[in-house]
Amino acid sequence: MDSCISIHDIGFVRLVDTMGDDMAVVRAARVSYGEESKGDDADQKLINFMMSHNHGTPFEHINFTFHIKCPIFVARQWFRHRIGSFNEISLRYTEYEEQIWRPDAWRMNNQINKQSSGEGNFSEKEIECLNGEYDNAMDAAVITYNGLLERGVAREQARAVLPMAAYTEFYWTVNARSLFNFLKLRMADSAQKEIQDYAIAVYELAQPVAPWAFKAWESL
Which residues form the catalytic set?
Answer: 186
Long-range contacts for 108-113 (Cβ within 8 Å, ≥24 apart)? 113/190
Q: How many CB atoms lie within 10 A of CB 176?
A: 27
Alpha-carbon span 113 to 5, nearest angstrom: 30
Please name the residues in contact with 93: beta carbons below 8 A apart, sequence gap of 6 or more.
155
Alpha helices in the chain (DSSP H): 22-30, 40-52, 72-78, 124-150, 155-158, 176-186, 193-206, 211-218
